[in-house]
Amino acid sequence: MTQTRTTLFSRIRNSIFWAPILPQTERERKKFLLNNLILHFRPRTIPEQTLKFTHTWGLGGIAAALVMLLFLTGIMLKFIYEPFPGRAYDSIILLQQDVWFGQFIRNIHHWSANILVVVVFLHMVRVFFTGAFHPPRQFNWIIGLILFFLIIISNFTGYLLPWDQLAFWAITICTSMFEYIPGVGMWLQKLIRGGAEIGPESLKTFFTLHSAIVPACLITLMPFHFWRVRKARGVVTPRSLRDKSEPAVRKVPTVPDLILRELVVALVLIAFILVFSIIFNAPLEDKANPGLSPNPAKAPWYFLGMQELLLHFHPLFAVFIIPIFVIGFLILLPYFKYDSDVTGFWFISQKGRRMAMVSAFCAVIAMPTWIIADEFFIDFTAWLPGPPTVISNGLLPVVIVAVVVIGFYLLIKKKYAATKNEALQAVFVLLLVSFIILTLTGIWFRGQGMALSWPWQVGVME
């Protein structure tokens, strides 16, 4: 049973306010459990250690709150928005100028959607670094990956709806990447666009996906994800890096100990989004003009890492082989063989943490150096005019990168006398930070003609 502590939360829990809500007798307790919806998704009690905010950073809960906020504001937007190229842009203008709080609701929807991508990504990273993808949570990792995919699809399909220059050209750029997928690429592109070009059919398809199909999938999968957390008896229990013995587990009731904390996080989040949406408007450029391409024409920010890869590798590698490899790696991650049980330790060990920091530092130095060198000095296609570009600008640089990464793995493993897990984690950090740098370069350092520029020179329309 719970021990009495004089924390703020225990004082609130024991306060008069909760008395009529919380069960007092055993019979009441059973009835309470049976009738409580929350406790169908959550374990009745959880280890007290998991309540520490920095263990999960509340990221899963924040993601869930953001999805709810998106559903709510999305339904409101549907009253005004019209999914036809002739009327979509004007309906957004109408919403912003003539509807009470229309601009505000659009801002909340826009910022929540973008913050959600970052939050879900960070949630995934936290799950990775606390080893929470290992059995018995391996299947929940896969459900999580599907949720991540759905969040990206939801953002991507929503991007086109305002039908402004930004939306039209970003989706044109992204869907044109499909051409490089061997075999089915052109077919897939036509399917998504609903024809050869972005037009009325594309808007209809995107709107249906965005406002019906993806939300339906999310509503179905999210409870499943929470239920799997419940089946695993809550989130993974944190273990101390210094003392690797099993922690003495002290259980506390989910309601109100966890729920109260989640409520606080959700309220702070909502307050933040509201203030942010009062200060910053969601972008809206001129009405889409298929005859006038902006320069630079960029994909939505979460695909800019991939667009940046296109500048360095042959398209077959940038948009197909490398992403397939990454997706395959993420799916198989819980099923690889590991040399020890590392579940619940942030960064596996103290050594693992140090190695992760060294890897991040290496990526911060090496990536920009490579991007600049590739922009101004390296030109495999000119140096090797003989073989096709898929070899000179695809296979060759990929093999060089692979050799560097394998070399890094062997070097860091030897230098730190590390386990296989620790060395693999270091490589993962190297690749993760590199990808983040690629994305940031695409957002802030690519200007006209996608040439390297300073952030204040980026975003000029021709």
Helices within 384-419 (DSSP H only): 389-390, 396-415
For the CB of residue 61, give the shortest distance to ligand HEM in the complex, in Å.
5
452 DSSP 8-state letter: B
Q: How far apart are CA 160 and CA 167, in angstroms?
A: 5
Shortest Cβ distance from residue 267 to ligand HEM (Å)? 16
133 versus 207: smaller Cβ distance to ligand HEM: 133
Shortest distance (Å) from residue 265 CB to ligand HEM: 10
Instruction: Considering the complex, state which of residue 236 and residue 321 has its C-beta at the smaller distance from ligand HEM.
Output: 236
- Give the max Cα distance, the chain: 83
Q: Decide: 288 and 163 in contact? Cβ < 8 Å.
A: yes
Q: How far is the CB of 183 from ligand HEM (least distance, A)?
A: 28
**What spatial distance separates the first Cα and last Cα of the chain, rounded to whole Å?**
69
List strand residue ranges (DSSP E) for 123-222, in order: none
Query: Could you tell me where the beta strands, DSSP code E, fall in 155-261?
Result: 251-253
Q: Please check whether residue 458 is in contact with residue 447, taking contact to mean a CB–CB distance below 8 angstroms.
A: yes
DSSP result, 77-110 = HHTT---STTTHHHHHHHHHHHSTTHHHHHHHHH
**Rounded alpha-carbon distances, angstroms, from residue 195 to 78, 85, 178, 199:** 25, 15, 14, 8
In this complex, which beta carbon is closest to ligand HEM, that of residue 229 or of residue 433?
Answer: 229
**259 vs 378, beta carbon nearer ligand HEM:** 259
φ/ψ region of 233 (left if φ > 0, alpha if ψ in -120 to 50, else beta) reads left
Output 204 or 230, the one with its CB closest to ligand HEM: 230
- Report which residue type is found at 445: F
Report the candidate in 286, 300, 311, 301 with the shortest Cα–Cα distance to residue 461.
286
With contact defined as beta carbons under 8 Å apart, do 70 and 113 qualify? yes
CB of 20 to ligand HEM, least distance (A): 28
Task: Please name which of 148, 153, 104, 110 lies closest in space to residue 127, comparing C-alpha atoms.
Answer: 148
Distance in angstroms (rounded) separating the CA atoms of residues 296 and 161: 21
> Can you give the binding site for ligand HEM, defined by CB under 6 A?
56, 58-61, 63-64, 67, 120, 123-124, 127, 130, 132-133, 137, 140-141, 144-145, 147-148, 151, 222, 225, 229, 232, 235-236
Closer CB to ligand HEM, residue 154 or residue 349?
154
Nearer to ligand HEM, 232 or 390 (CB): 232
By C-beta, is 9 or 148 nearer to ligand HEM? 148
Smallest distance, ligand HEM to C-beta of residue 303, A = 17
From CA 347, how far away is CA 350, in angstroms rounded? 7
**Distance, CA of 454 to CA of 14 (rounded, Å):** 56
CB of 145 to ligand HEM, least distance (A): 4
What pairing do the DSSP bridges indicate for beta strands 251-253 and 45-47? Answer: antiparallel
Nearest-approach distance from CB 16 to ligand HEM, in angstroms = 30
- Decide: helix, strand or coil at residue 446: strand
**Dist CA 366 CA 61 (whole Å):** 35
CB of 123 to ligand HEM, least distance (A): 5
**Residue 251: CB minimum distance to ligand HEM, A:** 16
Cβ distance to ligand HEM smaller for residue 122 or 364: 122
For residue 437, what are the contacts with CB-CB under 8 A and spacing of at least 6?
363, 364, 367, 368, 371
d(CA 270, CA 265): 9
Q: How far is the CB of 216 from ligand HEM (least distance, A)?
A: 14
**CA gap 441, 304 in Å, rounded:** 8
Nearer to ligand HEM, 324 or 451 (CB): 324
Nearer to ligand HEM, 225 or 446 (CB): 225
Q: How far is the CB of 75 from ligand HEM (least distance, A)?
A: 18
Q: Which is nearer to ligand HEM, 56 or 439 (CB)?
A: 56
